[in-house]
Amino acid sequence: MTDTLVLGIELGLSGIRAAVMDERGKVIAASDRYPVPTKTGFGRAEQEPNDWLGRVALAGCDALAAIDPRCIEAVGVSALGPAPVLVSEDLQPVTPALLFSLDTRAEEQRCKIAARLGLTGDRLNHDHAIPKLLWWRDSEPSRWERAVWALDATGFIVSHLTGKPTMDTITALDYLLDGFQCPIAVPQPQDPLSAAGQLTGAWAELLGLRQGVPVSVGTYDSYADAAATGTLSVGDACVLFGSTLIIGVVNATAPNDLHGLVASPHLGEGVLVGGWTSNGGSALSWARKLIGAEETFDDALEASIGNLSPVEAGLVFLPYLSGARSPVHDPSARGLLLGLSAETKKEHVYRAVVDGVVLSVRDHADRLAMINASPLGWRAGGGGSRNRALVQSTSDALRAPIEIVEDGSLPIGPCRLALRTIGHLPRVAVSAALEPNEHRSEQYDRIYGVYRQLYKALSDQMHMLTNISRSDGDP
């Protein structure tokens, strides 16, 4: 009897990947990442949606090359977001996609809405899609006039795979505001685990799949990846080591005071409470590039920093390279490296960046403790979960064990989403379990107080620098 196989497609900040998984949750094949160009400038971070489609085809065909593609029973998609894109009646993009908090050009519109509705930054943060839609309307009226729908990244890809405009119920929350109407139509929201439709004949032919294969509605990659770690029931918790870093705990309800965290429906019970940082793996990539190491991963470098303690170089790093998304909600925040001396070496700098990312996890965990949402242990997933030094350091800083999900660095989130759409929920396997090192935990305790004070002490100066850059930056 032939196993049930599914194809999962994942769009992350660093590109598109795909994987094939069987009904037991075993990855059969996976593609390498196909980078998607990002146009950047001061306050700008955008991608072309048609670039997504071209790389979906490349990644999908790559992952399917080792199997008979006619065995695929379902397709799942997850993607970064919010990343609103305006499309015409025939689903063709009329704008680029603006990438969540990385694109801050709609800050004026966000502030006006927040003032009008009396909302704080954590209730209307700079991820929200509506200010970005208003920015398109105000800045590009000719494009706006041609637009019929607003879609997000997952929905855009699924819409093209099925020929039907699609948006899931979780993503739709970023297109809703009490007391404020979304300025353009969005598709009727659907359950992320339901089928959006069937693969079109053109896409079936392109990928070599059978016609009529169901395509899941899908959702943001963070929710698909959290579910892939088994974070589904109250008390489950995960750390997702991606380009952005995500921390989440399943809670029965959303607390009234979130202490800078966010709460949202997810693919399990209750709500997922935690945070989405602006910089996780992207900060490590930046640091590797800065010191001349391999930008994606360098085993020798990771091994060398394992011999350095968090306090050895006397450095503390604040990882707000692209602003702060949570638990601080500030697009004008900046990164900071404190404690440089004539003795500082490149390994010390990289160690400090790793520790800064790790301390951002602890910052979220401490706020979770304030709402009585502290788990006994965590599950790790995402591309960075194969970085043992990073995961061990996170365990040390949290003073808690971390289980690393098997194949967690591969695009398993959309695969498991597709399996759930057709009625399968395989168990989650763990490849390793790490315990905190008491000595290292004590060292993190010593520098954490400094870390927590830096933003409060220097936020005004950060804003001054941002304003200086804005006045001399890209229009």
pLDDT digits (tens, 9 = 90+) for 223-255: 999 999 999 999 999 999 999 999 999 999 999
Domain final residue pick, 222, 256, 283: 222
Distance CA 90, CA 67 (A): 33
In this structure, the number of other CB atoms found within 10 A of the CB of residue 114 comes to: 18
Residue 180 lies in a domain: yes
- Output the pLDDT for position 301: 77
Number of domains in the chain: 2
Q: What is the largest CA-CA distance in the chain?
A: 66
pLDDT band at 475 (very low <50, low <70, confident <90, very high): very low
Q: Which element (helix H / strand E) includes 246?
A: strand 245-251
Place of tokens 């015409």: 88
**pLDDT for residue 1 is more than 60:** no
**pLDDT for residue 121 is more than 70:** no
Percent of the chain with pLDDT over 70: 97
**pLDDT for residue 298 is more than 70:** no
Residue 21 lies in a domain: yes
* Same structural domain, 171 and 259: no
CA 241 to chain CA centroid, nearest Å: 9
| Least confident stretch, 147-151, 292-296, 453-457 | 292-296
pLDDT band at 379 (very low <50, low <70, confident <90, very high): very high
| Least confident stretch, 81-95, 107-121, 276-290, 461-475 | 461-475
If you ran DSSP here, which 8-state letter would residue 192 be given?
T
- The answer for residues whose C-beta is within 8 angstroms of residue 346's C-beta and 6 or more apart is 291, 292
SS3 content of the chain, % helix, strand, coil (to 5): 40, 20, 40
As a whole number, mean pLDDT of residues 11-37 equals 95
Residue 82 lies in a domain: yes
Distance CA 363, CA 383 (A): 22
- Output the pLDDT for position 417: 98
**pLDDT for residue 77 is more than 80:** yes
* Same structural domain, 173 and 78: yes
Distance CA 224, CA 220 (A): 7
Domain final residue pick, 205, 222, 239: 222
Omega into 414 within 30° of 0, i.e. cis?
A: no
As a whole number, mean pLDDT of residues 19-38 equals 95
DSSP SS3 for 430: strand
* Same structural domain, 258 and 168: no
As a whole number, mean pLDDT of residues 380-390 equals 92
| Least confident stretch, 49-53, 292-296, 380-384, 446-450 | 292-296
Residue from 275, 270, 300, 274 nearest 288 by CA: 300
Place of tokens 């998609």: 77
Q: Residues 359-376: pLDDT tens digits?
A: 999 999 999 999 999 998
As a whole number, mean pLDDT of residues 153-166 equals 98
For residue 180, the cross-strand partners are 177
Helix axes 438-472 and 388-398, enclosed angle (nearest 10) = 110
Distance CA 276, CA 80 (A): 12
Under 8 Å between Cβ of 451 and 311: no
What the block records as the tokens of 129 is 């899609």
- Output the pLDDT for position 410: 96
In this structure, the number of other CB atoms found within 10 A of the CB of residue 233 comes to: 10
User: For position 30, which CATH number holds?
Assistant: 3.30.420.40
What the block records as the tokens of 391 is 């995961």
As a whole number, mean pLDDT of residues 442-454 equals 96
Residue-averaged pLDDT of the chain: 93
**pLDDT for residue 14 is more than 90:** no
- Output the pLDDT for position 369: 95
* Same structural domain, 180 and 255: no
* Same structural domain, 378 and 256: yes
- The answer for residues whose C-beta is within 8 angstroms of residue 223's C-beta and 6 or more apart is 78, 170, 192, 264, 266, 267, 272
**pLDDT for residue 136 is more than 70:** yes
411 or 124, which is more confident: 411
Q: Residues 173-193: pLDDT tens digits?
A: 999 999 999 999 999 999 999
For residue 110, the cross-strand partners are none
Residue 389 lies in a domain: yes
Percent of the chain with pLDDT over 90: 83
Distance CA 409, CA 425 (A): 19
Domain final residue pick, 222, 248, 280: 222
Under 8 Å between Cβ of 65 and 207: no
Distance CA 463, CA 468 (A): 9
40: amino acid identity, one letter: T
Domain residues for 164?
5-222
Omega into 310 within 30° of 0, i.e. cis?
A: no
